[in-house]
Amino acid sequence: MKNKMFYAVAVVMATGVQAEESTLPTIQVEAEQIVDANTSELTIDTLIRPTPSDGGEWILEVPGVSGVRMGTHGIDPVIRGRKNNQLNILLGGAYIFGGCPNRMDPPSSYATPEIYDSALVIKGMQSLIYGAGGPGGTVLYERATPEFEAGENFYGKAGAGYETNGAIWNAFADAAAGSNKAFLRGTISAAEQTENYTDGDGNEVHSGYKTNAGNLLIGGRTDGGTLVRFDLDAVRGSDIKYAGARMDAPVSDSDSYKLSIESGKVGSFSGIKADVYRTDVYHEMDNFSLRPSSGNWSWVPSESVTDGLRLLGDMMLASGTLTLGMDYQGNDRDATRYAGPAGTFPTMTQSYLWPGVSIEQPGLFGEYAGSISQGNDYTAGVRVDYVDSSASKADLTAMGTSPNDLYTNYYGTTAQDRTDTNVSALYRMEHILDAQTNLGWGLSRSVRNADATERFIAANSSMAPMRWVGNPDIEPEAHHQLDLGLTFQLQKGALSFTTYYDDVSDFILLDRAHGQEGITSSDGAFIYRNVDAVLYGFDMDVDYQWAAHWRSRFTAAYVYANNETDNRAIGQTPPLEGTVSLEYWQERWMLAGEMRSVARQSRVDDDPATGSGVDFGETPGYTVYRLYGLFKIGKQADLKYGVDNLFDKYYREHLNKPSGFDATSSTPVYEPGRSYWARLEAKF
Min mean pLDDT across 25-39, 332-346, 517-531, 642-656 is at: 25-39
Checking if the pLDDT of 558 tops 70, the result is yes
Query: Distances from the Cα of 442 to the Cαs of 65, 325, 445, 642, in angstroms?
Result: 20, 21, 10, 40
Question: Phi/psi of residue 119, each to 5°?
Answer: -130, 115
Q: What share of residues in the chain are helix, strand, coil (percent, to 5)?
A: 5, 55, 35
| pLDDT band at residue 169 using 50, 70 and 90 as cut-offs | very high
* Mean pLDDT taken over the chain: 92
Model pLDDT, residue 23: 36
Mean pLDDT over residues 180-209, rounded?
A: 97
Model pLDDT, residue 266: 86
Model pLDDT, residue 662: 60
Q: What is the pLDDT of residues 625-635, one digit of tens each?
A: 999 999 999 98
Contact between 673 and 653 under an 8 Å Cβ cutoff? The reply is no
Q: What is the pLDDT of residues 331-346, one digit of tens each?
A: 999 999 999 999 999 9
CATH class of 4-683: mainly beta
The letter for the amino acid at 451 is D
Model pLDDT, residue 1: 36
∠ Cα 307 312 317 (to 5°):
165
Distance CA 174, CA 478 (A): 42
Please count the residues of the chain: 684
Query: CA end-to-end span of the chain, whole Å?
Result: 30
Query: Distances from the Cα of 109 to the Cαs of 75, 80, 673, in angstroms?
Result: 7, 20, 22
Instruction: Name the pTM for this structure.
Output: 0.93
Parse the chain into domains and list their residue ranges. 4-683
| pLDDT band at residue 449 using 50, 70 and 90 as cut-offs | very high
Q: How many helices (H) and strands (E) does the chain have?
A: 4, 34
Min mean pLDDT across 3-12, 308-317, 549-558, 655-664 is at: 3-12
Model pLDDT, residue 660: 72
Tally Cβ neighbours within 10 Å of residue 608.
16
Please give the residue that has the higher pLDDT: either 370 or 662: 370
